[in-house]
Structure 1
Amino acid sequence: MRLKDKVCLITGGAAGIGKATAQRFAEEGAIVVICDVNREAGEALVKELGEPACFYAVNVADRAEVQAWVDDVVRRFGRVDVLVNNAGITRDALFVKVKDGELVKQMEESAFDQVIDINLKGVFNCAQAVAPFMIRQGGGVILNASSVVGLYGNVGQTNYVATKAGVIGMTKVWARELGRYNIRVNAVAPGFIATEMVQKMPEEILAGMKAKTPLGRLGDPRDIANAYLWLASDEASFVHGATISVDGGIVMGT
């Protein structure tokens, strides 16, 4: 019961790593509050978790929605102890594709903007909304979802990599700014994880992911949830400003 009675907010909590994190936190006694744009999946999850877990339909790129969510959680529970900035999307495409000297395709500006809005601005919105409450209550924990591709880069993911590298940078800044208020800020950088989305990929793609991972398998969403759990708990009370890779020892490009 490492998170007993802690009010824990999880963005993108209806599926994948977010869902596994919500389940794991609930097992450890947390009051789990998830937000997602998928209302059906979110409501099904909180029904599974049982009270006092609750769901809010929130687009993290919408600052007003985020603020209203956080304000209501504070009114309802009186505090915010942990924020897990998990929500994220992909819109993959090559930066440019040239054939016979002619540009034939490139990443669309709209695809770049969509990923920036959710994966980077969304993290900013949510962290900035909870920080004043955490300061007033004397502390808290902010955990941000990065990725190994934010460390190493990846073909076809200019937008996604930019956000995940940016998350690492923001984590370091917030660690410097918020540590004096007893707010710990860290990031987790997952490798290839067997989420519902990933498992739908062609078998040859999955085989390639496994081949790049020295442990020879994809990660389970609970592997990441366990990392978040440890970082959220008092066991990690002196871990601050770090980016923890949970990736099976992946070596990109091999």
Structure 2
Amino acid sequence: MACSGMKRFEGKVVIVTGGSNGIGAATARKFVAEGAYVYIADIDEEGGVKVCQELDGNASFVKCDVAIETHVKGVVDRAVEEKGHLDIMVNNAGMLHAHGNSITEVSVETWERVMAVNVTGAMLGMKHAARVMIPRNSGSILFTCSVLGLMKTENASHGYIASKNALLGLMKSGAVELAKLGIRVNAVSCLGILTKMLQEWLDEVSNGMCPKEVFEDELQRNATNGRKLTVDDVANAFLFLASDEASYINGHNLMVDGGYSVHGRDMVNFKDPPRH
């Protein structure tokens, strides 16, 4: 039995890729609040260092492009060298792109970069996390997916849709292989949240025609519970899946979308967004 007052992740070591802002930063903060030590792996050094400073010595920033294997291996090796082990790997880093929503306009260069970050980066995270988790017969590997891994909406790019579908397949194949080695692999798929990355995408795909407030109102309207999704909602899902309470959950894609995937309407009509 755990000691009274003991935090859920006391003594655990966590890596969060893409942890400098948005969902990743919220996830890092919540793990630290529950007793974990977190390594934030990201290309955004300024944002990552800022988050680490907020976490008062309970997090470290490591500059990392997840599409480069030596970077990912280096983050994992550093965690093990400094803390002795790795318990949880959150493969959260990802990217959107707005250029070429039509299949006839897709840039191969953009397509390959999206796949490199969203899919190859997650594969490398699972590969190197598993490498150090297998000897301990213990660990949790998590992926940030999307409702768009289950459906296609009019304004979502082919590259992003394909990458999120691929992530779900990667999660399932990893779950089957690693379960017998004591490692659980799961994913969280969420509705859109207007993080910095999504704001940049919104401005481009709507040609500045869709104000932030309109987009957020439309997301809230499309959730069956009528509530706006927050980064903390998604972070809470990651903490649950990584916790002992979820010890029998493996190969699962946890939907955190307020029921949006039940009906799957387009999020916003960018050509004629509603006005309030």
The whole-number CA distance in structure 1 between the counterparts of 2:253 and 2:52 is 29
Letter in 1 for 2:146: S
Q: 2:216 aligns with which of 189, 201, 206?
A: 206
Q: Which residue of 1 aligns with 2:14?
A: 8
The whole-number CA distance in structure 1 between the counterparts of 2:99 and 2:58 is 41
Give the length in aligned residue pairs: 247
Map Cα deviations across residues 108-147 of structure 1 (whole Å, 9 max, x no partner).
1111111101000000011101101100112100001110
The whole-number CA distance in structure 2 between the counterparts of 1:121 and 1:198 is 21
Cα pair 2:171 2:185 within 8 Å, conserved: yes
Q: Which residue of 1 aligns with 2:123?
A: 124
Letter in 2 for 1:165: N
Map Cα deviations across residues 87-110 of structure 1 (whole Å, 9 max, x no partner).
00101244437xxxxxxx612111
Cα pair 1:219 1:247 within 8 Å, conserved: yes
Q: Which residue of 2 aligns with 1:81?
A: 87
Q: Which residue of 1 aligns with 2:231?
A: 221
1:69 is displaced (CA, Å) by 1.6
For residues 148-159 of structure 1, what are the structure 2 equivalents within 5 Å?
A: 148-155=147-154, 156-159=156-159
Map Cα deviations across residues 12-61 of structure 1 (whole Å, 9 max, x no partner).
00000000000010110011111110101101111110123111000000
User: Do structure 1's residue 53 and structure 2's residue 53 form an aligned pair?
Assistant: no
The whole-number CA distance in structure 2 between the counterparts of 1:207 and 1:53 is 34
User: CA-atom RMSD, angstroms?
Assistant: 1.6
Map Cα deviations across residues 197-250 of structure 1 (whole Å, 9 max, x no partner).
446752333333233222223310000000000011101000000000000110
The whole-number CA distance in structure 2 between the counterparts of 1:63 and 1:218 is 36
Q: Secondary structure at the match of 1:110?
A: helix
The whole-number CA distance in structure 2 between the counterparts of 1:37 and 1:252 is 33
Q: 2:97 aligns with which of 58, 71, 91?
A: 91
- Higher deviation after alignment, 82-91 or 147-156: 147-156
Uncovered stretches (5+) of structure 1, i.e. residues with no partner: 98-104
Cα pair 1:146 1:168 within 8 Å, conserved: yes
Uncovered stretches (5+) of structure 2, i.e. residues with no partner: 1-6, 203-210, 267-276
User: Do structure 1's residue 141 and structure 2's residue 140 form an aligned pair?
Assistant: yes
Cα pair 1:190 1:224 within 8 Å, conserved: yes
Q: Which residue of 1 aligns with 2:3?
A: none
Q: TM-score, normalised by structure 1?
A: 0.92
Q: Which residue of 1 aligns with 2:167?
A: 167
Letter in 1 for 2:174: W
User: Do structure 1's residue 253 and structure 2's residue 265 form an aligned pair?
Assistant: yes
Cα pair 1:194 1:221 within 8 Å, conserved: no
Map Cα deviations across residues 161-195 of structure 1 (whole Å, 9 max, x no partner).
11111111111111110000110000100112242
1:150 is displaced (CA, Å) by 0.4
The whole-number CA distance in structure 2 between the counterparts of 1:115 and 1:90 is 7
Letter in 2 for 1:227: A
Map Cα deviations across residues 62-93 of structure 1 (whole Å, 9 max, x no partner).
01111122112111111000000000010124
Q: Secondary structure at the match of 2:189?
A: strand
Cα pair 2:96 2:198 within 8 Å, conserved: no
Letter in 2 for 1:211: R
The whole-number CA distance in structure 1 between the counterparts of 2:199 and 2:176 is 38
- Higher deviation after alignment, 218-227 or 107-116: 107-116
User: Do structure 1's residue 27 and structure 2's residue 26 form an aligned pair?
Assistant: no
Q: TM-score, normalised by structure 2?
A: 0.85
The whole-number CA distance in structure 2 between the counterparts of 1:198 and 1:168 is 21
What percent identity do the matched residue pairs reach? 36
